[in-house]
Amino acid sequence: MNQQTTAQQLVNSVTLLLNASLEVLSYVDTPRALTLLVNEQVTVIRADPDRFVRSTHLTLPWPSIVALKRYVLIPRDLRSDPELASRGEVLQRDKRTCAYCGARGTTIDHVLPQSRGGRNTWTNLVAACTSCNNRKADRTPDEARMPLLFQPRRPSEPSRTQQMVWDLLAAP
């Protein structure tokens, strides 16, 4: 594998971020997880055993799951609204596939733009490639003549990721 491919994989990968209580918080870009690791703010829970990120002075594991060392209190109103979605969760739900053209989706788009009252909800956020996101701009899909390839919806099992973490930690 050449360095260019590895760099692209790093930029395009995500890491599951857990609270100190091992409660799922969100997905973060792997470079962000590595920054938290270097700054000693997280502990690696699980890493790819065959891949590492190397620099002149450091060799770090390629993290797939990290946990904060200090507990972060999540406001009750954010935790209790199951309709709110994060960037990482939307990218995972959409399998990083652009909802407009089917190419690799690296950004998220508000179906109803935020400037028109669109919220960060499961049904209003989709993965999008940069080109489609820029082309759609501050319009609805109908106005931009960019029909969605699928209707965004809330995942049927919102706690599936949390259950996966618990199963992983319970395994011997």
Q: Per residue of the chain (172 residues), what is the pLDDT tens digit?
A: 445 456 777 777 889 899 998 888 888 889 999 999 999 999 999 999 888 988 888 999 999 999 999 998 876 555 556 788 888 888 888 988 999 999 999 999 999 999 999 998 999 999 999 999 999 999 999 999 999 999 999 876 645 677 777 777 777 6
Number of Cα atoms under 13 Å in the Cβ half of residue 90: 26
Task: Read off the tokens for 126.
Answer: 């989709």
Q: Is 72 exposed, middle or buried (0-12, 13-18, 19+ CB in 10 A)?
A: exposed
Looking at residue 62, its amino acid is: W
pTM: predicted TM-score of the whole model, two decimal places: 0.53
Q: Tell me which fold the domain 79-144 belongs to.
A: DNA Binding (I), subunit A (1.10.30)
In this structure, the strands spanning 59-68 and 24-29 are unpaired
The ranges assigned to domains in the chain are 3-74, 79-144
